[in-house]
Chain A
């Protein structure tokens, strides 16, 4: 008889349940992306998710692992997250490359699920951003934010997706716009104050919150992301530690510096709602595999993400820093896990001496 150790009762949680909960939580954000970018969003989502699933299947086959693991939801989730962090302007081959990269180099080469150091979707996005800066920083004008042309219907989207702007007789300039973060950054270099820049951009907090600004697919609506994130926290699929400490750190830094010099530093609410912060705070930084295990470790991780995000946004070359911040903090996770441990019952010291 095989020896089976206690306990003989189980709470019923599973990897599949966890992954599909996150996928469900991302449905509102995905729907907003379709609302903003029409068929283009549908193509990107399908390609990324499909690409990740097929790559995962092939990897598992090559490595003689159980191919049924494709359906544990992790590859699908990676695909979904990847699509949501990509700008709508990326062509099909770039999205496919990102999907393959995320699964092969981001996940399977480390040993598969549970062993990857970086969040696969974010790692793939970093590679794309560094390799193809033009496409990755061109932000299509969303459907409901003054996109004059009829480019989000099925055929035009398909042509654009496969053959680029030339195929629909457009130039990049005509169909793209700046994101609020990017616009403020450029204006600041020309001596314009933050307040003026926001005024010129016609920035509205409400629009940023419910989702009408340019950006990556899933970044559009802070509201949709918040809904999903809070639902996940309520279900205890993700713990509150990382999102709260992440967002709190960004808000605190922005508030402090905005207090010191409102001309140079953007206000906290702007930082919170802009760019990929919400998506990263609720869905990227909370990826269990690439974040610390303990509660205190998670707080430190969130703080580090927040600090780096704000520093890169304010002083860096890139207008958006959330993605880099999370990837950089991913590297620090083994260290955090080693040095920050909860206090063990009956012991006084928190941190090991060795």
Chain B
């Protein structure tokens, strides 16, 4: 009865268009600054040295398998997986390994990580250990998945989650819809846009491989309406490949953070990914368009992931462009290619302005997650990092939060280190999109507080786990000692009983033999001593 009424109301609301059909809660409309829209993708030349960190994805570290002085080929595996959630690293060009050492990586902490330094020889010879599988339809899904894993693919949208993990068939959760994410909602970035214009065939080829692998029969390519050329290109290619029945292009109104996986799934399917679960649990698989192209390259051409498209832009860059960059190319080299030599009063952002990080050094290399490199004037970046003022509780942050959080209260709890309250306010449902900080009139770095809070909670949990582990271990030790003591006690008891029994028997024997013989007491004493010595 109740659900019928709800359904009726929903139907009325939908018929009146009260419920926005293609939308998610909150969101902002940042100024776009897509300077590089429609700029053809340019190949970035080989740098003098390629620096390849052994971890360029979310997950576990890889282990270097090459030696200093060894010659490597393009696409040759140089660091192997050490765990499940891992993507191997391949040499981006042929050359010599000159050094394996710590090097700064694009990470907010400015931390260093073991990296393999390769001096390219310019020949760019290709390692052919991965043979092409152009007839992928006749290849088993498990083999294709292994190929994606071997090729070192990680999500190229910016999160760099190992791709093969998602490409799995699960009997309990069959995938109904594959979503190809061509939203690119970050301002400035145009790499996906241009890739869709130039490599539509490969992207859709990759999509076809994904659909074959997970046995999905429906797919949606989602593109925001600020990319008319990409939409046109994808639609034409779909028609050309005869896939227009199973794959459709969905044009969505521009809104940030529409490209977030959770938001995009909500917009396209009307379903929410339950907290703590994955898209696969509601029958959805989503991949970035760049990843899809990389899947095509890995399967049909047998190419490992050795390059990616990077938008090099920013208000301080003389010649912004979309570049195909070898993984490991130092960002300083890329900026020089775009005409930027002097970096005084310039801040470089790795990624987009909403979620990317400010680099403390431009010597960091391009990694699998690098979708953009933005050289900005210091003053324009500092405008966003105005001095923090008191919160006036206007609630704008909550209005724009796509996760439905109350960022101002959440940040307050994080700031005051009341992490239990912060978790109560669903700290871990924050996707760090930055919409709250973007609208905050008091310039409060809300995302910063959330990251701090998350880090602290993780630390507390680790310590708790450690304490718990220690407790279990110590209890086990106590139990073992107690058990040993008990065993000892038992043995002693048994020995004592035996001794008493013997003494008794001896006494009885003595009693019966008193008249005839004298008891041999010393003998008994010697025997009772014996069990104690044994224990």
Contacts and interface: CB of A to CB of B under 8 A. Distances in A.
Does chain A bind chain B? yes
Interface of A: 1, 3-11, 13-15, 17-18, 72, 74, 112-115, 239, 288-289, 291-295, 298, 337, 341-347, 352, 354
A9 B357 CA distance: 12
A9 B381 CA distance: 7
Contact of B262 (A341, A343, A346): A346
A296 B184 CA distance: 31
A17 B384 contact: no
A5 B386 contact: no
A6 B356 CA distance: 6
B211 interface: no
Nearest to B376: A8
A273 B355 CA distance: 48
B300 interface: no
Contact of B447 (A7, A74, A293, A341): A7
B354 A9 contact: yes
Contact of B355 (A6, A11, A341): A6
Interface string B450-486: 0100000000000000000000000000000000000
Contact of B406 (A4, A239, A293): A293
B399 A239 contact: yes
Nearest to A354: B424
Contacts of A72: 389
B395 A239 contact: yes
The main secondary structure of chain A at its interface with chain B is loop
B281 to A, nearest CB: 11
Contacts of B408: 293
A215 B235 CA distance: 66
Interface in B365-389: 376, 381, 383-386, 389
Task: Identify which of B187, B275, B395, B447 gathers the most chain A CB atoms within 10 Å of its CB.
Answer: B395
Contacts, number: 150
Counting from the closest, the 3 A-B pairs by CB-CB distance are A7-B434, A5-B448, A114-B390
Given A239-B395, A298-B395, A14 B439 contact: no
Given A6-B351, A289-B393, 15 more contacts: A5-B451, A6-B432, A7-B384, A9-B31, A9-B384, A10-B386, A72-B389, A112-B390, A115-B390, A293-B395, A295-B399, A337-B406, A344-B429, A345-B272, A347-B426
Interface residues of B, number: 65
B395 A11 contact: no
B275 A347 contact: yes
19 contacts: A4-B385, A6-B355, A7-B354, A7-B434, A9-B187, A9-B438, A10-B438, A15-B441, A113-B389, A114-B392, A289-B393, A293-B408, A342-B398, A342-B406, A345-B402, A346-B262, A346-B273, A346-B429, A354-B424
A5 B108 contact: yes
A345 B438 contact: no
B421 to A, nearest CB: 10
Contacts of A8: 347, 349, 353-354, 356, 358, 376, 381, 384-385
B394 A18 contact: yes
A41 to B, nearest CB: 28
B525 interface: no
Nearest to A298: B395
A345 B399 contact: no
Contacts of A291: 393
Nearest to B426: A344
A64 B249 CA distance: 59
A13 B262 contact: no
Contacts of B130: none
Interface string B410-448: 000000000000001110010010100111111101011
B178 to A, nearest CB: 21
Contacts of A346: 262, 272-277, 429
A288 B395 CA distance: 8
Contacts of B358: 4, 6, 8
A42 to B, nearest CB: 29
B506 interface: no
Contacts of B274: 346-347
Interface in B98-135: 108, 110
Contacts of A354: 424
B64 interface: no
B252 interface: no
B107 to A, nearest CB: 11
Contacts of A7: 353-355, 384, 434, 437-438, 447
B396 interface: yes
B429 A114 contact: no
B108 A3 contact: yes
A54 B357 CA distance: 43
B25 A345 contact: yes
B409 interface: yes
Nearest to B442: A15
A343 B266 CA distance: 15
Interface in B318-337: none
Contacts of B398: 293-295, 342
B441 A17 contact: yes
Contact of B353 (A1, A9, A14, A347): A9
Nearest to B384: A10
Contacts of B273: 346
A112 B390 CA distance: 9
B496 to A, nearest CB: 59
Given A5-B447, A9-B31, A295-B399, A15 B187 contact: no
B404 A344 contact: yes
Contacts of B424: 352, 354
B180 interface: no
Contacts of A115: 390
B434 A344 contact: no
Given A5-B451, A9-B353, A344 B275 contact: yes
Task: Identify which of B439, B441, B445 gathers the most chain A CB atoms within 10 Å of its CB.
Answer: B441
Interface string B256-298: 0000001000100000111111000000000000000000000
